[in-house]
Amino acid sequence: MNMDNWGPLAGFSAGVFLLMGALWLFLLFLWITVPFSIFAIRGQLKQQLAVLQRIEQRLAELALVLPPRASPPPPEPAPTAIPTPGAF
Say what percent of the chain tops pLDDT 70: 82
Q: How many CB atoms lie within 10 A of CB 43?
A: 9
This prediction has a pTM of: 0.44
Show Cβ contacts of residue 18 under 8 Å, excluding neighbours closer than 6 positions: none
* Residue 30, pLDDT score: 92
Answer with the residue of higher pLDDT: 40 or 81.
Answer: 40
CA atoms within 13 A of residue 86's CA, in its CB half-sphere: 0
Query: Hey, where are the domains in the chain?
Result: 34-65
Give the pLDDT confidence of 37-74 residue by residue, as tens digits.
888 888 899 999 999 999 999 999 998 888 877 888 88
**Cβ(42)–Cβ(35) under 8 Å?**
no
